[in-house]
Amino acid sequence: MAVLTRRAALAGATALVTALSFTQCARAADDTIKIGVLHSLSGTMAISETTLKDTVLMMVDDLNKHGGLLGKKVEAVVVDPASNWPLFAEKARELISKDHVAVVFGCWTSVSRKSVLPVFKELNSLLFYPVQYEGEESQNNVFYTGAAPNQQAIPAVEYLMSKEGGEVKRWVLEGTDYVYPRTTNKILEAFLKSKGVPAEDIKVNYTPFGFSDWQTEVADIKKFASAGKKTAVISTVNGDANVPFYKELANEGIKATDIPVMAFSVGEEELAGIDTKNLVGHLAAWNYFESVKNSTNEAFIKQWHAYTKNDKRTTNDPMEATYIGFKMWTQAVQQAGTTDVDAVRQAMYGQKVKAPGGFTAVMNTNHHLSKPVMIGEIQANGQFDIVWQTKEPIKADAWSPYLAEDKGKVADWTYPWVCESCTSPTYSATP
């Protein structure tokens, strides 16, 4: 009988320890807000996305140093989808369903974003997407903090067409073979033709992710430019393929004064892996450059260097977009008093953040920002000299006015519209 009593006592003690352990875990969970970080840390896109992971971690660290959020510690759950587009969806589902994150910051390529969209819609979670993209989308579960085409691609081409930009007449649309370049180039072709550019003066070419043998492609560009008309390359080449692309341009002796390259996916981080001496004068269009001079940007760069403990680590446009999105989400959570997705989404509309780019970013009801446009010229030190920018922030168009199928489309997630793409209000004020 005594043995049974000891066994019962041991079982009771074990149960008590287990119960206490579960209680402590539950309390820890109650005191923590988890956020997901969904960026490629390996594969072809790691060159660009790793920095964005570090940016989120920097913002989380800073938030926790200042008391956290809603009185709770914020914890980043980092996963690596490894530049594998279907894996993005799998990792997103894990973050939301298994790790129970309140929000996800992630994706770079449009194919990765398209992969996760059904997951965020099904599970009603929020994704903050920080990279310039092709537009043609407005999802209720996504906030787009990068540029739409009218905030990057169209102004960049308009600049090159102008006297200041060299009065370009012939166009090479060079891109990586996936959604963003193909859709962006479709919009640009329509825009160029609307400006009277004949089809024979537009050359379109695509190469795979990670492409490295650029000799034939660069030779074709050189040949196309030999027709006697001023020619420019509009580059939507993504990831580590940019390194051999620019090296081959230099090998062929192509200078910016001869055939300028206007890049939409090359910033300070990508230039860090390239000898830029031969690339001086080539261009990039973004909404932010590290070389912007203002106190907010100085503080941003200082914070980045202090966090990374490396004064040589550069900042770039998608980092600023990540910064803006993170700040807006924390403000919306504080305003709503909860991390509940529906409440936070409603609180996001109209959020404002003083951005390192020297402007106030505003979140509009189409889930896109108002942002300025900047054209930067590559310098020998790997930085950009800003040669042109808009006077005021430009409101993003989710749908392009240059595509016939988009005519009249509006994205607006507030009454009376509440739609991704409609041509008239969805709801009527009268019964």
Angle ∠(224,166,246) on CA atoms, nearest 5: 55
Asked if residues 194 and 157 have their Cβ atoms less than 8 Å apart, the reply is no
For residue 219, what are the β-bridge partners?
none
Can you give the pLDDT at residue 269? Answer: 85
**At residue 21, what is the residue type?**
S
Around Cβ 303, how many Cβ atoms within 10 Å? 17
Pairwise CA distance, residues 190 & 187, whole Å: 5
Angle ∠(352,358,360) on CA atoms, nearest 5: 15
Q: What is the dihedral of CA 392, 375, 149, 232, to 10 degrees?
A: 150
Can you give the pLDDT at residue 18? Answer: 47
Asked if residues 286 and 378 have their Cβ atoms less than 8 Å apart, the reply is no
Distance (Å) of CA 362 to CA 226, 277, 331, 338, 349: 44, 37, 12, 21, 8
Length of the chain, in residues: 431
Around Cβ 55, how many Cβ atoms within 10 Å? 27
Can you give the pLDDT at residue 270? Answer: 82
Angle ∠(262,264,269) on CA atoms, nearest 5: 105
| Closest by CA position to 180, among listed 104, 108, 288, 241 | 108
Pairwise CA distance, residues 256 & 259, whole Å: 5
Radius of gyration for the chain, computed over Cα atoms and rounded to the nearest angstrom: 24
Secondary structure (DSSP) of 240-257: GGHHHHHHHHHHTT--TT
Which three-class secondary structure state does DSSP give residue 185?
Answer: helix
Q: pLDDT per position in the chain (431 positions), as tens?
A: 444 455 555 555 555 544 444 444 444 457 999 999 999 999 999 989 999 999 999 999 999 999 999 999 999 999 999 999 999 999 999 999 999 999 999 999 999 999 999 999 999 999 999 999 999 999 999 999 999 999 999 999 999 999 999 999 999 999 999 999 999 999 999 999 999 999 999 999 999 999 999 999 999 999 999 999 999 999 999 988 988 999 999 899 999 999 999 999 999 988 886 788 878 999 999 999 999 999 999 999 999 999 999 999 999 999 999 999 999 999 999 999 999 999 999 999 999 999 999 999 999 999 999 999 999 999 999 999 999 999 999 999 999 999 999 999 999 999 999 999 999 999 987 66
Cβ neighbours for 14, distance < 8 A, ≥ 6 positions apart: none
Pairwise CA distance, residues 35 & 289, whole Å: 27
Which three-class secondary structure state does DSSP give residue 131?
Answer: coil
Can you give the pLDDT at residue 28? Answer: 46
Can you give the pLDDT at residue 318? Answer: 96
Secondary structure (DSSP) of 329-357: HHHHHHHHTS--HHHHHHHHTT-EEE-TT
Pairwise CA distance, residues 49 & 37, whole Å: 11
| Closest by CA position to 143, among listed 426, 398, 422, 399 | 398
Cα 84 to its chain centre, rounded Å, is: 17
Can you give the pLDDT at residue 33? Answer: 98
